[in-house]
Structure 1
């Protein structure tokens, strides 16, 4: 008799699942334990394995189909064996809860959340993490790895801002922009194509699929490390307790020995008249556009604004950036800012620096933005994006007696003013970067479990995913000159063999060193692969390598990384591939 393949029940609360991808076809032979399809539950992607050996006789469920648990989605058995008529799928609401005892063999046991009872009482944990962003989920996993009974509370989605409405979706869009950029500049290579068009709905769908894949992966990682997951807004109360005040687990109370706060940040909306008008976007709303706007005004020329300027300029939008400070990406080295502004203007992006937005008004089907500076101007556009930064998210922390102002105060061990409470990520008011939040998450978890590890902020790389890319680590030239006698080496991308072969010759590498000791104080890059090359600078600087040691390192040829070696040689005027100074 043919064996049924069913939609498994992966957890007590699961009532339906989505068929993501069949890994087999009808007629394929499989062995017990072979993965045969991938499904998506409410928060986790997982593979379903074959219960027995045999032949895939019939596939009933199509990819993308959402079905109740226990639904027959296919049959396997002996080759040529008859397949019964497919039973009608039960309604989701009729799936009885007692079916949780009938979980099929292919369901991975370690995907189950651990029971929330212990000797300390119901819903009691060694470590509770509030927020499942890049700082929070990393902290939870590290704490669990160290033996802590751990829970994580998340009100919205795994991965936080970065994965859902930040780094990952924007980088997915940047990749689309890069492809368009390559097509536009392909003619000189002999590649002649018609001008491409943008199907923004498909662009958004691709972005959403990438996000869904990664959020599901984080859920699987948490469950595999036996981290209990609570769905809702956690509000911290007295007596080491967190009450779930919103969401699916509303009303539950979780107690803890140690608490790690990782509630992240939210976009800043400045008190400018008109920014409350319908249609004004933040970096969250712009990710849901399904049509390419004709014009876009971006208020804020920092990292977020600059990346969206690159994206929509490549999509064919007329982009204008309005930045109140005298330069773009104000916190980075001035030479990087100048080069970025030059490349933006070359690409057709209008840049207004030293310009303050006075008001925003409705104008027909779009908006009029009045700007003051050297002169008063009015810019008009179909859409307006507010991208001036983010602020700490204190939701759920209102009742906490901890030291906080614009951010939660932490010491060098990431402890708050309460010894048993730690904080990580944007909430701490440090550099707002996902990779820093993850690093803080690991340090905080280790310290919560008894270590005394200091957080080191000296070599945190900064990346801007524009065209061309920007990578930076360490002191800017201005910062370095305040406390050091400096020497500087530069090497332009226009001399790099690999960059010339790629047709991406814009930009440079700049290395700032201490003249007396040869200490590398800062490395700043504009050009192809600059965000990847930042890792080399971090490695050398973290290991206290000198400029002499960096210049003596053999770099593969032809690579963009050679530009770092050449810039290191140039510190002492010894670059082989630059004319003698």
Structure 2
């Protein structure tokens, strides 16, 4: 994003890539989860409709084919992005090993001059330092595509978004999945939505405690948790992310090792900027994009800040769980309801698995403080509603909105309900 913005403004821009363009999102993050989740949801939908008595037949995953074709789609996305980037006038150099030593740029060991530098090297998967963590049969999101076949018993270590998303996927694929969680599963999810999330994870075993060791001699054979040994064929680490900054010296860093930047995305070295996961949490693609634009704008002489308050995000399980939480300290009245019937949710009305929606507003002026909604495709409404929440829109202003129908997300009706309730006070 930064390269496109700068090239569009007439700057000479070189993009230094170690491997492939597209970053974590295309290769090891968002698109990986989207591709696998599409298959998992299809399997579960067919099973649900069969059990509902409206279709016959079963579906099962052809795992090697899924991985092969998923990588084909990823390569196509990469090709499109490369073509668009080059068309904008950006020069791309691949196989570039980049270092910055005390403000000086080195590419493949050779010094390189640049007026400005933007560091956007992302973050890697944090793998805990426990015995057996490097055994054959241990994986992260970056390596799970090398899994030759589906394991019968899969251990997922972690309690956050990635752990839950991969647990849903591999349980749908037919694996016996166990999540090993130190404390709370999905602490970022509002308590009122946890029941639906656990319903999506009904075929997943969830254990709470401390993983002490991955068992096995040459390959994974099990997991030791709180002194108890449990058999497993594979382990997936979903234990968070850590910025990759060891090759950048001479600049200030945060306690977690990420690069410290100011409000203009500039590091402690003038003329050198950083954006995205390399600057630390939150590790969300939209945040990285906005920070890239902000760094580019600073170079172009019209700096702007990136507001990290109330970032909307989605957890993708059987439903989408989209949240934009109120700011800390903000209190209001919360309106809650089951979600509505619509595309992908109609047949789920029968068993009540349509999800739910929650809207928090200020009693005094109707200001929308935050929301949470679970249904198919809630990330779409979350994008635009999240923006309006950040702009300070009230339910009174929103109430005359003309919605698109049918839709599986009924947040528009919740806004009208809140508007009516406040008007009657």
| Structures share fold, TM-score greater than 0.5 | yes
Give the 5 Å matches for 1:163-562.
163-187=26-50, 188=52, 190-193=54-57, 195-231=58-94, 232-238=96-102, 241-245=104-108, 251-326=109-184, 328-345=185-202, 348-353=203-208, 355-362=209-216, 366-372=220-226, 377-397=228-248, 399-406=249-256, 407-475=258-326, 480=328, 483-493=329-339, 495-496=340-341, 501-503=346-348, 505-561=353-409
Distance in 2 of aligned mates of 1:153 and 1:174? 31
Once the two structures are TM-superposed, the CA of residue 286 in structure 1 deviates from its matched residue by: 1.2
Return the alpha-carbon distance in structure 2 between the equivalents of residues 349 and 343 of structure 1: 9
- Kindly provide the CA deviation profile for residues 417-444 of structure 1, in whole angstroms up to 9, marking residues without a partner as x: 1231111111111310112101111111
Structure number with the bigger relative contact order (C-alpha 8 A, sep ≥ 6) is: 2
2:421 pairs with 1:568? no
Aligned pairs (5 A) from 1:133-144: 138-144=1-7
Task: Determine helix, strand or coil for the equivalent of 1:305.
Answer: helix
Secondary structure of the equivalent of 1:385?
A: strand
Distance across 1 between alignment mates of 2:225 and 2:54 = 44
Q: Distance in 1 between matches of 2:54 and 2:88?
A: 52
1:158 matched to which residue of 2? 21
Displacement after TM superposition at 1:200 (Å): 1.4
Report the Cα distance in structure 1 between the residues aligned to 2:92 and 2:74, rounded to whole angstroms: 19
Shift in alpha-carbon separation, 1:529–1:301, aligned structure 2, 3 A: same
State the structure with more CA Rg: 1
Q: Are the aligned partners of 1:320 and 1:352 in contact in 2 as well (CA < 8 Å)? A: yes
SS in 2 for 1:360: strand
Q: Give unmatched runs, 5+ long, in structure 2.
A: none
* Change beyond 3 A, Cα 1:268–1:365: closer
Deviation at 1:318, TM superposition (A): 0.9
Change (3 A) 1:381 1:455: same
CA spacing shift, 1:448–1:332, aligned 2, 3 Å: farther
SS of the residue corresponding to residue 503 of structure 1 reads: helix
Q: Structure 1 residues 379, 224: closer, same or farther in 2, change over 3 A?
A: same
Q: Residue 233 of structure 1 contacts residue 396 of structure 1 at CA under 8 Å; is this kept in 2?
A: no
Residue by residue, what CA displacement relative to the aligned partner does 1:192-246 show, whole Å, maximum 9, x if unpaired?
A: 11x32322111011110111001111211221111122221111245x642222x
The CA distance in 2 between the partners of 1:356 and 1:523, in whole Å, is 33
Q: Which residue of 2 aligns with 1:87?
A: none
Match of 1:77 in 2: none
Q: Secondary structure at the match of 1:322?
A: strand
3-state SS of paired residue (1:162):
helix
- Structure 1 contact 471–532 (Cα < 8 Å) conserved: no
Question: Matched residue of 1:186: which SS?
Answer: helix
Deviations 1:51-92 (A, max 9, x none): xxxxxxxxxxxxxxxxxxxxxxxxxxxxxxxxxxxxxxxxxx
Q: TM-score, structure 1 length as denominator?
A: 0.68
Unaligned runs of 5+ in 1: 1-137, 246-250, 576-581
State the alpha-carbon separation in 2 of the partners of residues 244 and 364 from structure 1. 38
SS in 1 for 2:216: strand
In the TM superposition, what whole-angstrom CA distance separates every residue of 1:447-474 from its partner, at most 9, and x where no partner exists?
A: 1111121111124221111112211123
**Cα deviations by residue, 1:491-542 (Å, 9 ceiling, x for unpaired):** 212x535565243633211112222232212111122112222123223213
Question: Residues 440, 143 of structure 1: CA spacing in aligned structure 2 closer, same or farther, 3 A cutoff?
Answer: same
How far apart, in 1, do the equivalents of 2:123 and 2:330 lie?
35
SS in 2 for 1:454: coil
SS at match of 1:554: coil
- Displacement after TM superposition at 1:570 (Å): 4.0
Evaluate the alpha carbon distance shift between residue 333 and residue 412 of structure 1 in structure 2; reply closer, same or farther with a 3 A threshold: farther
Q: Is the 8 A contact 2:168 2:317 kept in 1?
A: yes
Tell me the SS of whatever aligns to 1:185. helix
| Residues 491 and 566 in structure 1, CA contact (< 8 A), matched pair in contact too | no
Q: Secondary structure at the match of 2:306?
A: coil
**How far is 1:191 from its partner?**
1.6
Q: Compute the displacement of 1:271 (Å).
A: 1.9
